[in-house]
Amino acid sequence: MKKYLLILLVILGITSKTNAQESAKQIFESPDLKSKTAEHKLVAILPFNVSITYRKQPKNFSVEANKEQEKSMSNSI
């Protein structure tokens, strides 16, 4: 009986974690997207402008690495 209860708790824990990850996604969409794109055949989605700033620069701070991280974040959003 304890074995089945443990398996049930593990399954519930995994499914609740999966649902939490799905609800944490942020999807940005314009409210009038469908009306704006109705007459277009091709629509471009441009990356966001991302700027990473620090109050205090971390140890081993590199400007080039910071720029690269900004670029990768702008494409992943």
Sequential pLDDT tens for the chain (77 residues)? 778 888 887 887 777 666 555 555 566 677 888 888 888 888 887 777 888 888 888 888 888 988 888 888 887 76
12 falls within a domain: no
Does some domain include residue 11? Answer: no
The sign of the dihedral angle between the CA atoms of 9, 11, 17, 22 is negative
Instruction: Flag whether the pTM goes above 0.75.
Output: no
Does any domain span residue 44? yes
In a domain, 70, yes or no: yes
Give the integer Cα–Cα distance in Å for 27 and 13: 25
CA 2 from chain centre, in angstroms, equals 38
- Segments forming the whole domain that contains residue 46: 40-77
Please report the sign of the dihedral spanned by the C-alpha atoms of residue 52, residue 58, residue 63, residue 66: negative
Number of structural domains found in the chain: 1
Give the per-residue pLDDT at 8: 80
